[in-house]
Every structure is written in C-alpha cells, then in structure tokens.
C-alpha cells in the first residue's frame, strides 16, 4: 500500500452517532429505511424475525412496496433460511435477499463452510450507514438461552460522511458476486453471464484505495486536517484484507500511552496480538479487558480462559461481565493527537480474525471515544474482577475444560490451514 493511500485511511468530515444495543439501533434503522427514496442495502449475521426485530422486516417491506430497491444478505449459519411467511411477504413486496454460504448438517464440517458473513452493515440511499456488532436479534431474547433479564451489551454506529460510500461499494460488490452464484445454481446461464459482467463492473475491494489493507506502522493511522470526526472503514476478508482489523488493533495498542479498554465477547487473541498487549503493559499502559462472564458457547467460553494467566501475570485487569450476554466488539485507546476508538463486528478470536467477513469503524474523535468509554466504565462497574491468583483456585474440571476447548480450537485452525 502506498503512502498516499495510507494518508486517506482516516478521513475527516464524518458525523457519528454511537448506538448502544438494539434498543437504540433498531429505531434508528427503521427511521432511515422509512426515509429511503432509492436503495437500502443490509447485511447481517443473524436476522431473527421476531420480537423487536419485526419493525425492521416491516420497514424493509414497506420501502420495497413504494419502489425502493432493497437488498438483504444474511449468513447461512447465523440466520439460515428466512421464515416462509416473510419469504412470501418480501417476494410480494419485491424485497431481494440472498443467503451467504448456506450450510447445515454434515456440510458444517467442511472447512470452506466455516467462512461466514459476520459483518453487520446497512446503507440507505448512499447517505447514511450503520456498522457495528449488533445482530438483528432482540436485546432481551437469546436463541439458545431464552428470555434475558438485562439487555445484551453491544454497540453500533450511525455514520454520515465519506466512509458511507466505502460501505456501499463493498456491499454492492458482495451482492454482485452472490448474484453470479444464484444464477449459476438455477442454470440460467444467460443471466449468470450478465451477472458475471455486473460483478466485473463492480470490481473488488482491492481497487478501493480508501479501504485499509494490512497495516503495521504508525503511518497507517494519520490525522489529516478537516472538520468532523476522523473515521475509517476497516474490513476483513479472505483475499487481501486478511489481517487488516487485527493489524489496526495492534497499531492502536502500540500507540497507546496511558490506557487501553477492550470489550470483546470472544477474546482468544493470536500470538502477535498477545505480544502487543504485553508490550503495552510493560511500558506502563493501564489495560482493562471486559470479557464474557456468562456461558454461551463451549469453545469460546472456555478457550478464552487459556490466556487469562498470561494477561493477569502482566498486570492486565480482567473484568467478566455477568449482567447479561456481552456481545460487544469495541475498544478505546488513548494516543498522541486524540483518543482512538473502534466499534465493529470483529471478535478478537480466530473465527473472526481468520475466517469471517468482518467490518469495523475506527474513529479518532475525543467526544466519541469519551462516550464509548463511559459506557464501558459503567459495564466494568457491574462486572466481576478476576483476581490475579484466581486461576490457582480453579477446579481440575475447570482447568481441563479450558485446555480441552483451547486444544479443539487449535485442531480447527490446523484443519483449516490457518496460522494464529
């Protein structure tokens, strides 16, 4: 990547609104969709057609009925098939939808099926966008655990400004590629040929100089002059942007001077990210990790605890959030020239950093970072601090499950051919 390309990695003139939970995101999305005049693009990992998400499905339907072009992409594992009722309603309204990499049953054992669409993006009329970690899933309901007493802890960002175009372009490209696959599966070769031409015209993210590639030096997060918040859309995919989100995290950690706050649902960092955190701790940066305290999935819950001892020994504070499910994938770090924050879909684990399509917004803006930090400090106050010697008191069973889960994760990585 050239120096001139890096100089546009963070761009000014953005208007950003931090949205906490679906309770804030869903009404904001419905409002934007209701005002749509030409186009709505939406991508999500989970789309649950129930409870507080129904108004979004209805808003998409209403937009299509008044002539707005509506494209929806949902992940084949996170969402699966769209319910028959909504298939009928959306088809009648001319809502267009695609399922990304569908897989069920034994096909889930195939490594190529592990590549998921995990990013959560929405763009309306190319003027307003949403990016974050919030699935289209009611805050007070979990598909595996039922009703929740407290809302799921997660964030998204409403964006106006230049990076909305970046969001729009990458979503348009994915849709074009999915359209090729759909026409080919239906053996409509004339339509497939036209879809191939459309996909070629759409290009690839490789050609977009504003999207961040793999980064490893301080020139990748410049501070150009200009009005509005500085922001960048950073993607992860399995072509060029394989290490971009992790690279930006390592860069921001390396620039931090006094404080790093990371909230992550599934925290299983790779060797390079571990080293970045340990180096920061050695130079005196105060580091707090807000992690999942409630059991959700076996591998993520137990494997994350395999890094506890290393982090605690380095003086890094670990807080387990137990009030509800922590689904956030955010961070706030101070640095010369202003605080840096990120909100997005990427966990700091191998599934996100090596296999899934992810999207994060990185922001250099003191007010935005302060607002996010305030939410994190409130959550930390509700959490349970892991004592430095806590691991020595774990039962043999707990330790065994931790290393069993971590070993299983390493086997999965070996099978997939990934290094972490």
Selecting among 71, 168, 172, 327, the annotated active-site residue is 327
Contacts of 225 (CB under 8 A, 6+ apart): 12
Selecting among 71, 329, 365, 375, the annotated active-site residue is 329
Catalytic (active site) residue 20 = no
Selecting among 334, 349, 365, 375, the annotated active-site residue is 334
CB 138 within 8 A of CB 53: yes
Q: Helices 189-202 & 163-185, crossing angle to 10 degrees?
A: 160
Selecting among 20, 118, 168, 302, the annotated active-site residue is 118
Two tokens at 307?
């890094």
CA 97 to chain centre: 21
Selecting among 20, 71, 120, 168, the annotated active-site residue is 120
The whole-angstrom separation of Cα 377 and Cα 357 is 29
Task: State the pairing for strand pair 141-142/96-100.
Answer: unpaired
The β-bridge partners of 343 are 330, 361
CB 48 within 8 A of CB 137: yes
The whole-angstrom separation of Cα 12 and Cα 23 is 28
Catalytic (active site) residue 237 = no
Find, among 352, 278, 346, the residue nearest to 316 by Cα. Answer: 278
Q: How far is CA 21 from CA 134, 146, 176, 328, in A?
A: 7, 17, 30, 9
CA 56 to chain centre: 20
CB neighbour burial string for 293-310, b if at least 16 within 10 angstroms, e if fewer: beeeeebbbbbbbbbbee
What's the burial of 43, exposed, middle or buried (CB within 10 Å: 0-12/13-18/19+)?
buried
Q: What element of type H or E holds 69?
A: strand 69-75
Catalytic (active site) residue 14 = no
CB 161 within 8 A of CB 14: yes
Contacts of 44 (CB under 8 A, 6+ apart): 72, 73, 74, 75, 78, 79, 120, 135, 136
Q: What element of type H or E holds 97?
A: strand 96-100
Selecting among 125, 210, 214, 418, the annotated active-site residue is 125
Catalytic (active site) residue 154 = no
Catalytic (active site) residue 118 = yes
Catalytic (active site) residue 112 = no
Cβ count within 10 A of residue 351: 22
Q: What element of type H or E holds 182?
A: helix 163-185
Q: Which residues form the catalytic set?
A: 118, 120, 125, 327, 329, 334
């Amino acid at each position: 990547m050239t120096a001139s390309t890096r100089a546009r990695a963070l761009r000014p003139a953005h208007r950003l609104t931090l949205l906490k939970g679906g309770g804030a995101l869903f009404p904001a999305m419905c409002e934007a969709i209701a005002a749509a005049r030409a186009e709505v693009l939406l991508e999500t990992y989970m789309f649950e057609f129930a409870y507080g998400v129904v108004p979004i499905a209805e808003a998409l339907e209403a937009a299509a009925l008044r002539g707005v072009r509506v494209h929806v992409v949902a992940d084949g594992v996170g969402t699966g098939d769209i319910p028959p009722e909504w298939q009928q309603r959306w088809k009648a309204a001319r809502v267009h939808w695609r399922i990304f990499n569908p897989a069920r049953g034994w096909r889930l054992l195939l490594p190529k099926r592990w590549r998921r669409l995990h990013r959560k993006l929405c763009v309306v009329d190319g003027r307003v966008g949403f990016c974050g970690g919030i699935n289209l899933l009611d805050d007070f309901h979990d598909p595996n655990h039922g009703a929740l007493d407290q809302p799921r802890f997660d964030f998204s960002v409403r964006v106006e400004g230049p990076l909305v175009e970046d969001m729009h372009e990458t979503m348009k490209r994915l849709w074009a590629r999915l359209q090729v696959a759909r026409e080919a599966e239906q053996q409509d070769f004339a339509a497939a040929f036209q879809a191939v031409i459309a996909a070629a015209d759409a290009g690839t993210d490789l050609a977009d100089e504003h999207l961040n590639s793999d980064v490893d030096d301080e020139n990748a997060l410049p501070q150009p002059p200009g009005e509005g918040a500085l922001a960048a859309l950073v993607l992860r995919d399995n072509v060029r942007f394989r290490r971009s989100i992790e690279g930006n995290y390592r860069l921001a950690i390396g620039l931090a001077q006094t404080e790093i706050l990371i909230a992550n649902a599934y925290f299983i960092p790779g060797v390079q990210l571990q080293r970045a955190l340990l180096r920061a701790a050695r130079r005196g940066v105060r580091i707090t990790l807000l992690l999942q305290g409630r059991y959700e999935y076996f591998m993520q819950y137990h494997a994350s605890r395999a890094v506890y001892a290393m982090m605690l020994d380095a003086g890094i504070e670990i807080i387990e959030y137990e009030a509800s499910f922590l689904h956030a994938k955010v961070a706030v770090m101070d640095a010369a020239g202003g605080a840096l924050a990120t909100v997005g879909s990427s966990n700091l684990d191998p599934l996100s950093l090596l296999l899934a399509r992810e999207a994060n917004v990185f922001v250099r803006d003191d007010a935005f970072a302060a607002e996010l930090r305030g939410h994190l400090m409130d959550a930390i106050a509700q959490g349970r601090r892991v004592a430095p010697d806590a691991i020595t008191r774990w039962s043999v069973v707990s330790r065994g499950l931790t290393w069993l889960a971590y070993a299983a994760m390493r086997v999965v990585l070996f099978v997939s051919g990934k290094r972490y």
